């Protein structure tokens, strides 16, 4: 059997989709204080405790090689001893994220598959197929290619648009189209990415880290990333298990949480296509209604418009005029409700000025309270930084009309966080360019947009409202924003 066949068999036999990370992290200060040998001994002791207590709940174990390399020879020795203690029937995935070519890649493959005897490895595909081929020659082994990662700054490269899709989706499409099974690393704390990648890679196995300490939930990750047969995703957790007083109890809870999500998922499988089609149709209809509202309220116009920079733009977008039509505002409210459905939050925060009426529409549609930061802050009156009722620690869904750069958003985030509020997600109706998404990723905020401006241009072209030449002109100008 090859790796993915082994994974399928163990998933069936043990009724688990939990992947347990073995990542004994020591800070530089700890290493200097304890000494490398002592840290390596502690790492091995911790690993053996986890393996002993959790093997029956684990579909696979996943050591991250960096934590062992950081401890020199003693750390590598601890890794070998750790692997030796994992039962033969449990697959071992080395999280190495290697990415090189030719004899260097062959050497990496020999080290991981030949010497460590690992069953699978994570790889960085940036150098192309040349990176994967030396590993794929080990026909009984598995490869997981980095697709969408769990770090806040992932979008800096992964959201670059390629063929009208973000880069991470293009990677998923190309890997899933290869004539050999390749797994994909898709962040367990990015529900939107899991859903999108699953749509373009319906049969691939996902390795989904980011559960627990990085904010992901096992049940939500499963629901978003599972295949139609209730498998196809390794839900990975490391710190939440290793740092627990009883790793076995936490692993059991996670396994059962995934099982419950799986059972619920499969119980609805009798009408999966009908339900999925209805959901897709609703989103398509929502976008169509929104575009109609943009045109009827003249929030979107074609022509020649002078920008603040002095440049001439062939189009102009100003969503502030949506307030002229109550139905347009209702459509906007529904759009924000759709975007917010994959976010965890307690309260909505609109960004002045354009975001305030839209946040009000969203608040009424969703039934969540609303606040707004005073921008710029004024000393007179009550002197409050934020209007509305909130409590320190509340999770805030940040809301604005559109995004080009992150300037005004960053100002709002700073004000809200200064009052002890937590901001992880931003929802907008339209995204222009990619700079704003990069700015948000750097700030640790996930951006959710109803559409990119290129989708608007595409719709106008398909409906005969603009010509092919106009479409190209609009898209080309959009690239310069």
Positions annotated as catalytic residues are 97
Q: How far apart are CA 260 and CA 17, in angstroms?
A: 12
Nearest to 176 by CA among 218, 147, 152: 147
Q: How far apart are CA 393 and CA 51, in angstroms?
A: 36
CA distances from 340 to 101, 184, 336, 444 (A): 42, 26, 6, 17
The burial of 31, by beta-carbon neighbours within 10 Å (0-12 exposed, 13-18 middle, 19 or more buried), is given as middle
| Helix, strand, or coil (residue 425) | strand
Q: How far apart are CA 82 and CA 79, in angstroms?
A: 5
- Write b or e for each residue in 160-180: b if 16 or more Cβ atoms lie within 10 A of its Cβ, otherwise e: ebeeebbbbbbbbebbbeeee
| Helix, strand, or coil (residue 420) | coil
CB 434 within 8 A of CB 161: yes
State the first-to-last Cα distance of the chain, in angstroms, to the nearest integer.
51
> What contacts 239, CB < 8 A, 6 or more positions away?
21, 23, 212, 213
What is the radius of gyration, based on Cα positions, of the chain? 25
User: In the numeric block, which tokens belong to residue 89?
Assistant: 């029937």
Q: How far apart are CA 255 and CA 236, in angstroms?
A: 11
CA distances from 160 to 23, 99, 439 (A): 30, 20, 13
β pairing state of 402-403 and 422-431: parallel
User: In the numeric block, which tokens belong to residue 75?
Assistant: 């750390």
Q: How far apart are CA 243 and CA 246, in angstroms?
A: 9
Q: How far apart are CA 132 and CA 139, in angstroms?
A: 12
């Amino acid at each position: 059997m090859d790796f993915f066949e082994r994974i399928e068999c163990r998933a069936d036999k043990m009724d688990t989709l939990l992947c347990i990370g073995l990542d004994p992290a020591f800070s530089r200060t700890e290493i200097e204080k304890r000494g490398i040998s002592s840290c390596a001994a502690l790492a091995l002791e911790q690993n053996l405790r986890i393996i002993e207590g959790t093997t029956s709940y684990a579909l696979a174990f996943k050591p991250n090689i960096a934590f062992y390399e950081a401890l020199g020879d003693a750390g590598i020795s601890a890794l070998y001893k750790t692997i030796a203690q994992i039962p033969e029937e449990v697959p071992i995935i080395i999280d190495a994220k290697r990415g090189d070519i030719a004899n260097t890649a062959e050497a990496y493959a020999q080290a991981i598959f030949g010497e460590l005897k690992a069953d699978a490895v994570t790889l960085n595909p940036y150098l192309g197929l040349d990176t994967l081929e030396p590993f794929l020659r080990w026909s009984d082994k598995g490869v997981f290619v980095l697709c969408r990662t769990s770090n806040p700054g992932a979008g800096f490269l992964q959201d670059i648009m390629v063929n009208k899709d973000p880069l991470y989706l293009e990677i998923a499409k190309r890997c899933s189209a290869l004539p050999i099974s390749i797994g994909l690393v898709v962040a367990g704390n990015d529900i939107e990415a899991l859903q999108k990648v699953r749509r373009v890679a319906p049969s691939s196995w996902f390795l989904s880290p980011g559960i627990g300490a990085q904010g992901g939930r096992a049940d939500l990750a499963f629901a978003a990333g599972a295949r139609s047969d209730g498998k196809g995703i390794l839900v990975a957790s490391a710190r939440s298990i290793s740092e627990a007083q009883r790793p076995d109890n936490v692993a059991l809870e996670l396994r059962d949480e995934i099982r419950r999500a799986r059972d619920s998922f499969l119980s609805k499988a009798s009408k999966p296509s009908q339900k999925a089609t209805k959901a897709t149709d609703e989103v398509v209809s929502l976008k169509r209604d929104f575009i109609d509202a943009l045109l009827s309220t003249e929030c979107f116009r074609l022509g020649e418009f002078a920008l603040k920079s002095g440049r001439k733009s062939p189009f102009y977008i100003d969503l502030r005029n949506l307030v002229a039509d109550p139905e347009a505002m209702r459509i906007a409210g529904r759009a924000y409700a759709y975007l917010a459905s994959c976010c965890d939050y307690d309260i909505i925060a609109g960004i002045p000025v354009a975001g305030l009426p839209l946040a009000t529409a969203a608040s009424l549609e969703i039934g969540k309270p609303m606040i707004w930061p005073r921008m710029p802050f004024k000393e007179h009156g009550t002197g409050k930084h934020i209007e509305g009722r909130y409590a320190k620690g509340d999770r805030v869904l940040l809301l604005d009309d559109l995004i080009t750069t992150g300037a005004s958003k960053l100002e709002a985030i700073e004000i809200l966080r200064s009052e002890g509020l937590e901001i992880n997600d931003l929802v907008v109706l339209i995204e222009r360019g990619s700079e704003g998404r990069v700015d948000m990723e750097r700030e640790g905020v996930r951006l959710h947009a109803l559409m990119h401006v290129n989708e608007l241009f595409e719709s106008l072209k398909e409906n005969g409202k603009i010509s092919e030449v106009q479409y190209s002109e609009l898209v080309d100008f959009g690239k310069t924003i």
